């Protein structure tokens, strides 16, 4: 499994500074935040010169971009993000499902919409990863499997986030076993409890919360997952650069140790 860091952790600074910190913390992989209104380190509006600069910034730091986080289900917006991902040569775009948990009409509409978005992603030769998200139509292990069974689009896959699954009253290792090869990427973080709110950034640091991280990693390994584990810590927009860098470094250290013990 590949350890990466989502640039949303460094929402308070520009992309170059974020990449400097991610590389210095020892990561080789990165997820680029394209989250309108929260953190847009790269943008669909970026011109060719800016795109070339982003690619060079990544190369100079030995970083490989494995995914873009779009956090939108708006078709027009995603069409632009898919084009951006193609220009940046990033293979996966991550989104939620939209909709409302426990509402059948909302779930049916969300699945139909995701089918169209997956078709669109396929036209760009990209993978679309849907993350079950607390409060949305696709929010737990069962609804994710329903999505995958009802949408027959090769571009579609699942984004495995143990913190959202845990807060949906699931056990992440069990879900990893059930989802298997449907997992194409992972947002990786912890959480303090089953409460629906994710909690402040320190509680999202892997190893500080209630999720059994070693067991979760073992389950991912056992189903053959070898993709990115992208640290996704949200809510740090007001944090100092030193605080955000500390979260990145601590998380990488802990996860590296877990993976080493797993493979020993």
* Residue-by-residue DSSP string for 177-218: HHHGGGEEEEEE---SSS-SS---HHHHSTTSSSS-HHHHHH
Q: Is the dihedral of CA 182, 188, 8, 71 positive or negative?
A: positive
In whole angstroms, give the CA distance from residue 59 to residue 132: 32
What the block records as the tokens of 249 is 């470094």
3-state DSSP call for residue 123? helix
* Tens digit of pLDDT at every position of the chain (264 positions): 999 999 999 999 999 999 999 999 999 999 999 999 999 999 999 999 999 999 999 999 999 999 999 999 999 999 999 999 999 999 999 999 999 999 999 999 999 999 999 999 999 999 999 999 999 999 999 999 999 999 999 999 999 999 999 999 999 999 999 999 999 999 999 999 999 888 999 999 999 999 999 999 999 999 999 999 999 999 999 999 999 999 999 999 999 999 999 988
Tell the residue number behind the tokens 């298997």, with chain if given.
180
Q: What's the sign of the alpha-carbon dihedral 54, 56, 61, 63?
A: positive
Cβ atoms 171, 198 nearer than 8 A: no
Query: What is the count of structural domains for the chain?
Result: 1
0.85 exceeded by pTM: yes
Quick one: pLDDT at residue 263? 87
Q: Show Cβ contacts of residue 129 under 8 Å, excluding neighbours closer than 6 positions.
A: 67, 92, 93, 94, 95, 157, 158, 159, 184, 185
Domain of residue 51, residue span: 2-263
**What is the CATH number for 61?**
3.20.20.150
Cα–Cα distance measured from residue 187 to residue 218, given in angstroms and rounded to the nearest whole number: 16
- Contact between residue 264 and residue 38 where contact means Cβ atoms under 8 Å apart: no
CA distance 217 to 34: 27
3-state secondary structure of 126: coil
State residue 133's pLDDT score.
96
């Amino acid at each position: 499994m590949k350890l990466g860091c989502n640039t949303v952790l460094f929402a308070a600074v520009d992309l170059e500074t974020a990449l400097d910190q991610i590389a210095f913390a020892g990561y080789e992989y990165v997820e680029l935040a394209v989250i309108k209104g929260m953190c847009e380190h790269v943008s669909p509006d970026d011109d060719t010169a800016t795109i070339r600069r982003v690619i060079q910034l990544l190369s100079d730091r030995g970083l490989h971009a494995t995914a873009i986080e779009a956090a939108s289900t708006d078709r027009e917006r995603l069409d632009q993000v898919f084009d951006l991902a193609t220009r940046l040569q990033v293979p996966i775009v991550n989104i939620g499902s939209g909709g409302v948990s426990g509402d059948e009409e909302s779930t049916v509409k969300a699945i139909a919409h995701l089918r169209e978005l997956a078709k669109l992603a396929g036209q760009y030769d990209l993978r679309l990863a849907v993350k079950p998200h607390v409060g949305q139509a696709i929010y737990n292990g069962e609804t994710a499997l329903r999505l995958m069974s009802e949408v027959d689009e090769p571009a579609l896959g699942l984004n495995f986030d143990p913190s959202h699954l845990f807060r949906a009253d699931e056990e992440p290792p069990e879900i990893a076993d059930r989802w298997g090869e449907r997992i194409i990427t992972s947002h990786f973080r912890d959480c303090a409890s089953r409460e629906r709110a994710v909690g402040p950034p320190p509680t999202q640091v892997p190893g500080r919360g209630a999720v059994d991280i070693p067991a979760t990693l073992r389950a991912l390994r056992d189903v053959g997952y070898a993709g990115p584990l992208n640290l996704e810590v949200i809510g740090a927009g007001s944090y100092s650069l030193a605080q955000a860098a500390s979260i990145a470094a601590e998380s990488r250290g802990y996860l590296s140790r877990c993976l080493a013990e797993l493979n020993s």
